[in-house]
Structure 1
């Protein structure tokens, strides 16, 4: 039996949406700053740069750092249960190190990843948000100008 036209079309659309889902994505402005802000505390950035990112994320653009700050993560995978509703966690991977974040911290990361446009996925009572190859660049001079620029991120949705 040969597959019908609808079956072939459905399979083609399924493959196309899978390819689009894994395509690199970007975000900028306040969403990029928020993404860098929730990831930076767990990264291997020098303390001075982590403090600057935290200051930006808390609304203070008067930091004593002038060079661009790059926040990276190899993977960010967040899970929340829609059955065991108190269960939420995120695993942030930086090279060979993985940090597990639970509770409100995980919820903030999960929500920010969703805000950045990463599509949710789910299975057996769990909702996933995941991205890989995160790279956010913060430009202190542009952020200080308060013109909406100075924060840009790129990533791949999914893991």
Structure 2
């Protein structure tokens, strides 16, 4: 009889356990764009790495880089919103530890659209649409980007 209770418990555990399907991943051009745009506002990414990512985003895959160069871009949270009432409103908040960076207008819209491109699901509320992630972690491998073979950028996040 005890084994029946164990089986019932295991079935319930698997049926009601949260799945890790909420985690998101992206690669290629969408991940590169997300990494570059998040890095632009990040106090954790140095100026040389920001310049290299900006060059990549502007189409310069052959930009000079240090041998074995890998750039990590992390943010605790990225929360972007657009209004479906005030259609000119676009805003994003990027969190890097205790530091918060606010974006407005075109820069916010660019990041908002890039989150959509990376497969982040929308969440709406009265008059606004949110695209938000937490635990953003991107890595860009400069040598792989320079190969122009479709690889070199990866991002992971929680929607």
Q: What TM-score comes out, normalization by structure 1 length?
A: 0.84
CA offset digits 1:77-122 (Å, max 9, x no partner):
0111111111110000111110000000000000000110011011
Q: From 129, 132, 151, give the equivalent of 2:131.
A: 129
1:120 matched residue in structure 2:
122
TM-superposed deviation, 1:64: 2.5
Cα RMSD (Å): 1.7
Aligned length: 141
Gap runs ≥5 in structure 2? 1-15
Distance (whole Å) between structure 2 residues aligned to residue 29 and residue 52 of structure 1: 16
Gap runs ≥5 in structure 1? 1-15
Distance (whole Å) between structure 2 residues aligned to residue 29 and residue 106 of structure 1: 21
Q: From 99, 102, 114, give the equivalent of 2:101.
A: 99
Q: What TM-score comes out, normalization by structure 2 length?
A: 0.84
Pair 1:40-2:47 in alignment: no
8 A contact 1:55–1:63 mirrored in 2: no
Distance (whole Å) between structure 2 residues aligned to residue 50 and residue 154 of structure 1: 19
SS of alignment partner, residue 65 of structure 2: coil
